[in-house]
């Protein structure tokens, strides 16, 4: 499916936020020699997600919308866990909260049109939609795992399982993006390098901890 250049540029701006969050997190993790979960990571995440919601809507890509729905409110939870909402007007928090619901309302306001555009369009075979959605589900489930892990430990952290799911989901999204001719999705998965590196950092830090206890 081809789209006007401005739509691709919109999607690219979302991916720039996502790449930016990876670079910030990666830099701090390398600097501190442990996997970090900085507040800016989550701020960039919510900014990128808002834009990618719009991109997915304009591209008529249900897999993107589903993927963002899975992670959006987890981003919001982590921003709250970092204490950032105290610095924002209450109205802005409410706007953030209802944004995905507005996008979904626009999608479902005309059910026949939704079906023809998002589900049965000639440029989106059912098998491809399922595969793309599965890729987004795998990729975004890392945030479900992250919030469960974080709530159990009482702080916002990025555990090992998060990075493993990130690598698996990224590979699937890259394949989906190549098939769909969506270079924005493919380019956005450059963060797979940082995911692999964070796995390496995790095991290196665990090794240092184990050696320190001997």
The encoded tokens of residue 36 equal: 């970090």
34 DSSP assignment:
S
61-82 pLDDT per residue, tens? 888 898 899 899 999 999 999 9
Q: Please state, in angstroms and as integers, the Cα–Cα distance from residue 129 to each residue in 66, 119, 122, 135, 197, following that order.
A: 11, 8, 12, 10, 30
Per-residue pLDDT tens over the stretch 163-174: 999 999 999 999
The model's pTM is 0.79
Mean pLDDT of 136-147: 93
Please spell the DSSP secondary structure of 196-208, one letter per residue.
Answer: HHHHHHHHHHHHH
Q: What is the torsion angle, in degrees rounded to the nearest 10, for the CA atoms of residue 15, residue 20, residue 21 and residue 23?
A: 130
| Residues whose CB falls within 8 Å of the CB of residue 17, separated by 6 or more in sequence, listed in order | 44, 45, 47, 48, 51
């Amino acid at each position: 499916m081809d789209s006007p250049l401005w739509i691709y540029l919109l999607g690219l701006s979302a991916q720039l936020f996502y790449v930016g969050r990876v670079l910030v997190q990666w830099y701090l993790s390398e600097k501190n020699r442990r996997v970090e979960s900085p507040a800016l990571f989550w701020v960039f995440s919510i900014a990128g997600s808002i834009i990618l919601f719009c991109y997915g809507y304009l591209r008529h890509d249900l897999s993107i919308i589903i993927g963002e729905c899975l992670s959006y409110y987890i981003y919001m939870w982590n921003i709250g866990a970092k204490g950032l909402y105290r610095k924002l007007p209450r109205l802005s928090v409410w706007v953030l909260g209802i944004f995905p619901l507005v996008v979904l309302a626009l999608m479902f306001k005309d059910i026949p049109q939704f079906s023809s555009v998002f589900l049965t369009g000639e440029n989106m075979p059912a098998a491809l939609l399922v595969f793309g959605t599965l890729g987004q589900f795998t990729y975004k489930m890392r945030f479900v795992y992250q919030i469960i892990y974080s709530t159990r430990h009482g702080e916002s952290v990025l555990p090992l399982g998060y990075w493993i799911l990130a690598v698996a989901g990224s590979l699937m999204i890259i394949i989906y993006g190549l098939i769909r001719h969506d270079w924005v999705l493919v380019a956005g998965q450059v963060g797979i390098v940082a995911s692999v590196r964070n796995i390496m950092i995790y095991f290196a830090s665990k090794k240092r901890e184990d050696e320190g206890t001997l």
